[in-house]
Structure 1
Amino acid sequence: MRRLSREDVTKAVSGADDVTIAQIIGTGATIEELAEAQAWLANDEPMINDLRPLAQGRVRELVDILSELEQDDDEQGPANPDAVSAAS
């Protein structure tokens, strides 16, 4: 299994800045581990229902990094505030 490269991360994680990319690569994770972390973030209930253990190790690190990135995006709000008022 190959470890993540910068190109892998930029393809898989839209909007990631240089610091976040470095953190993700710094975990030493593989592409498969990044995909698993993204699956946990996308919808953890089916994974728990399949009796999968909670994310651990590098996958857990990636979940933490990616969830922080999502929180930052949520706090910033929409890029175009006019789009929200027009949709309301």
Structure 2
Amino acid sequence: MTRNEIISVLGPVDEAVIADIALTGASLDELREAFAWMGADEALMNEGRSMPGARVARLIEILEPPEDEPEVPTE
């Protein structure tokens, strides 16, 4: 995938994200599928869609915002 193809699906994103996506070797269709799963995973499962394949799952991992680390109470 090219940088422009990635941006056409995701909109403006960080260059590091673009590089990580490109390194997966995924196709443009796989990126579109990952983007769809992120926005409507429950709806896709209700439609009977099978779970994402390995590359699509990796794209989802890259695209998901990092979880906040739990706060450590201060004394």
Please give the TM-score of this superposition, normalised by the length of structure 1: 0.68
Offset at 1:54?
A: 1.7
Query: Which whole-Å CA distance do the structure 1 matches of 2:51 and 2:64 have between them?
Result: 15
Q: C-alpha separation between the residues in 1 aligned to 2:12 and 2:3?
A: 13
Equivalent position to 1:5, from 2, 6, 13: 2
Unpaired runs of 5+ residues, structure 2, are 69-75
Q: If the length of structure 2 is used for normalisation, what is the TM-score?
A: 0.78
CA RMSD of aligned residues (A): 1.8
- The residue identity in structure 1 corresponding to 2:48 is L
Q: Which has the higher contact order (CA 8 A, sep 6+)?
A: 2
Structure 1 Cα separation of the partners of residues 41 and 23 of structure 2: 24
Q: Deviations over 1:53-86 (max 9, x none)?
A: 2212110011111113xx58xx8xxxxxxxxxxx
**Residue 46 (structure 1) shift:** 1.6
Dislocated runs of 4+, deviation >6 Å: none
Question: Are residues 1:15 and 2:12 paired?
Answer: yes
Instruction: Quote how far apart the aligned CAs of 1:15 are.
Output: 3.1
Q: Is 1:30 matched with 2:21?
A: no
Give the structure with the higher percent helix. 1
